[in-house]
Amino acid sequence: MAMPAFETYVTTAKALGARIVAVPPGPGYALPVDAMVAAITSSTRLIYINNPNNPTGQPVAKDAIRRIVRAARDAIVFVDEAYHDFMGENFLDEAASYPNVIIGRTFSKAHGLAGMRVGVMVAPPAVLEPIRFVMPLFNLNVVAVQALRAALTDREFTPWSVAQATESKQQLYAVLDRAGLTYWKSAANFVLVDGGLRAREIIDGLRARGVLVRDRTQDPYCPNCFRITAGVVTYTQKAVAALEALCVSR
């Protein structure tokens, strides 16, 4: 897996006794395609590609995914597209061409069903069969199923959600520019920010003002960083005001 990575990739691999091959990120947190291909061996069983990446928000080009998939003849490539709605591009349309690709999707993000834990995997039946064997018997409760049906039939909410995130990111970019903070423009619904030597002060200051961000300062691949969600614009405006007070109006 390319680093930094979604924490659950690491914890679940450790829980299963797997050996993790962590590949450092490329410049600007780009997916290190050459390094990932070079890391693949006959022992490789699973490769994670998070597109766009969490926590960096960086997109992965289809050509990069193809290179890794073709190099991993004996491994499953899990393409996690949790945030694809915000990027406007995905690999699902050509995944069926490859027998070793699983596409992961969730309704937690653009559809707003985070508390329901509704997700799907898309892959050839032969790939999914052993996964079905270890799934919980009742993996979705009836409330989640009803919420999923509502999400699939509501044609207005998701475009609204994506539009809100897009506007929120622009507001965050503007205040971060004014604050002189380093950040990475994101293809997801969050922005990774480097707080530098003031990271702890900023994170604690935001919390004191009722704005909770994801603390990434202990991650060696993104030290001094925090991730701030770009969601509903009215909520983002509160975050912008807090950042102004902490970093601009001094």
pLDDT digits (tens, 9 = 90+) for 64-82: 999 999 999 899 999 999 9
Domain assignment of residue 1, yes or no: no
Q: Which tokens hold the place of 98?
A: 């490859």
Average pLDDT over residues 126-155: 91
Number of structural domains found in the chain = 2
Is the pLDDT at 249 greater than 80? The verdict is: no
* Same domain for 176 and 142: no
Q: Are 130 and 123 in contact (CB under 8 A)?
A: no
Q: For residue range 141-158, what is the model confidence (pLDDT) as tens digits?
A: 999 999 999 999 999 999
Please report the pLDDT score of residue 19 as a whole number. Answer: 95
Please report the pLDDT score of residue 76 as a whole number. Answer: 96
Q: Which domain holds residue 27?
A: 7-153
- CATH number where 15 lies: 3.40.640.10
Please report the pLDDT score of residue 137 as a whole number. Answer: 84
Which residues, other chains included, contact 162 with Cβ-Cβ below 8 Å and sequence gap of 6+?
Answer: 85, 86, 110
* Same domain for 24 and 146: yes
Please report the pLDDT score of residue 250 as a whole number. Answer: 54
* Same domain for 140 and 123: yes
In the listed set 128, 153, 178, which residue is the last one of a domain according to the structure? 153
| CB atoms near residue 200 (< 10 Å) | 13
* Same domain for 122 and 26: yes
Q: Are 173 and 167 in contact (CB under 8 A)?
A: no
Q: For residue range 8-60, what is the model confidence (pLDDT) as tens digits?
A: 999 999 999 999 999 999 999 999 999 999 999 999 999 999 999 999 999 99
In the listed set 85, 119, 153, which residue is the last one of a domain according to the structure? 153
* Same domain for 139 and 75: yes
* Same domain for 244 and 142: no
* Same domain for 167 and 141: no
Q: For residue range 169-223, what is the model confidence (pLDDT) as tens digits?
A: 999 999 999 999 999 999 999 999 999 999 999 999 999 999 999 999 999 999 9
